[in-house]
Structure 1
Amino acid sequence: MSEKQNALLGLKKTNLREQALSALRTAITRGGLPPRSALIETELSEQLGISRGTLREALRQLQQEGLVVLGDRGRLSVRSLEAHEIREIFVVRSALEGLAAAELALQDDRTGTVAELQSALDRMAEAGTERLDDRIECDLSFHRALCSLTGNATLLHSWTSLEGSIRMSIMYAGVERAVGNMDVGKHMEIVKAIEAGDPEAARRAVAEHLKWASDNLVA
């Protein structure tokens, strides 16, 4: 059985749309469905054990997340990122996460915020010997926490809408460079600036980290 088929097995018979969505998303972001792979409804619905209608709902959601694209002939395929697109994604990330870090630095009581961010960094450090996808989840959890801890729902929603593209961009240059972006020390600079109550330093730390990360991925 192919890696693509293995990546799409094992659905239960409840909440099939969400399970299909999760299985497809995981297969795409972990390479089971590589960039430019054609997404053929008859094959996928059979592999997943769901109706084509349920599959279409999941695929529509993946289009919204930026993981799947519609070709000229109306055929869906896995999105393939170009270097300039990754830079654009990271520029937008920098704006959102920089704003988040600055807002957190302006909180009157930052004790709980710093503790949660430090906890996320601890998990990132502990995941240093784990599988790549586990390390990616720890890295994304830190950046998601930056946005969620602001309490700004619009900011968090904007970041979440990029999450699929962020996952794909992390895998763009292979494992070694992806791991390089998960350096705990670079993330710690952001936390230190927030803890110090310096919004400009916090914004700058985010910008420097994400600029380095995007350069690392597309070098």
Structure 2
Amino acid sequence: MTAPPASLLGGLARSNLREQALTALRRAITTGELAPGTHLVETELSDKLQISRGTLREAMRQLQQEGLISAGARGRLAVRHLGASDVRDIFQVRAALEGLAARMLSEQDNRDAVVQKLEDAIQRMEDSSGGDLDERIEADLDFHQALCFLTGNPTLLHSWKSLEGSIRMSVMYAGVERALSNMSPHRHAGIVEAIKTGDSAGATRAVEEHMLDTAQFLTGS
């Protein structure tokens, strides 16, 4: 089993602090260093990240919008806790969005460039298979984001990206071992093959089955 990095909350360089804080906090949450339900104390986090509390608040507002943290009693912020029903809901919406993307791509007249980019994304998953958790998560998500990006439909891409925080949390719902075993490149190849052959119904079905299988695997139901 690949362990998460020792710590993602070390001090940051002074350039672009808000973005660096966002990245560090986002990865700490999705890898479980900051576990679901953890209360986020501004003084502690600003000291760990070596940033001002104002910069930290900006980053945390963005994380709220992404669905990674939520406000509880008296407005206290904590890492969001997902239940099994939340995970199933997220994958159901992903199936609708990415299934639409796969159908659109399979109906394009000239699909060669699209297929090549998706095959390159699968190769990156292969290349990262021996890497750390963060690298493998990014390679997996890059493939799914590419499905939406390659449609050329900005509304579809925006809709997917608005769920990205929740997607990251759902991937890690069942822990590191299950998350990693779910990221095998061959599970994505059927989607690309259907797009390549222009089988729009098959491409949509491949995405829907992929999402259903993943949700069931992660939630054990």
The alignment's TM-score, normalised by the length of structure 2, stands at: 0.94
Question: Which residue of structure 2 aligns with residue 188 of structure 1?
Answer: 189
- How far, CA to CA, are the matches of 2:190 and 2:208 in structure 1? 11
Moved more, 26-35 or 5-14: 5-14
Q: Secondary structure at the match of 1:47?
A: helix
Spell out the pairing of 1:59-78 with structure 2 (5 A cutoff). 59-78=60-79
Equivalent residue for 1:212? 213
**Alignment check: 8 A CA contact 2:69 2:78 kept:** yes
Task: For residue 73 of structure 2, give the secondary structure of its aligned residue in structure 1.
Answer: coil
Q: Tell me the equivalent position of 2:132.
A: 131
Write out aligned runs for 1:72-111 (5 A): 72-111=73-112
Secondary structure at the residue paired with 1:90? helix
Letter in 1 for 2:116: A
Residue 150 of structure 2 is matched in structure 1 by 149
Q: Which has the higher contact order (CA 8 A, sep 6+)?
A: 2
Which 10-residue stretch deviates more, 15-24 or 174-183? 174-183
Contact 2:103 2:204 in 1 (8 A): yes
Cα deviation digits, residues 8-48 of structure 1 (max 9, x gap):
11301122111111111111111111111110111111221
| Residues 31 and 176, structure 2, Cα contact 8 Å, conserved in 1 | no
- In structure 2, the residue matched to 1:168 is 169
Deviates further, 37-46 or 143-152: 37-46
Quickly say closer, same or farther: Cα 1:17–1:209, change in 2 above 3 A.
Answer: same
Secondary structure in structure 2 of the residue aligned to 1:73: helix
Identity %: 59
Q: Answer with 117-126 or 144-153: which moved more.
A: 117-126
Q: 1:202 is matched with which residue?
A: 203
Aligned positions of 1:104-119 closer than 5 A: 104-119=105-120
Is the 8 Å Cα contact of residues 27 and 134 (structure 2) preserved in structure 1? Answer: no
Tell me the residue number matched to 1:45. Answer: 46
Q: Distance in 2 between matches of 1:6 and 1:123?
A: 25
Aligned residues: 217
Amino acid at match of 2:30: T
What corresponds to 1:19 in structure 2? 20
Structure 2 residues without counterparts, runs of 5 or longer:
none
| Runs of 4+ with >4 A deviation | none
In structure 1, stretches of 5+ residues that fail to align are none
Q: Following the alignment from structure 2 to structure 1, what is the Cα–Cα distance between the partners of residues 47 and 7?
A: 13
User: Partner of 1:36 in structure 2?
Assistant: 37
Work out the CA distance in 2 between the residues paired with 1:36 and 1:133: 21
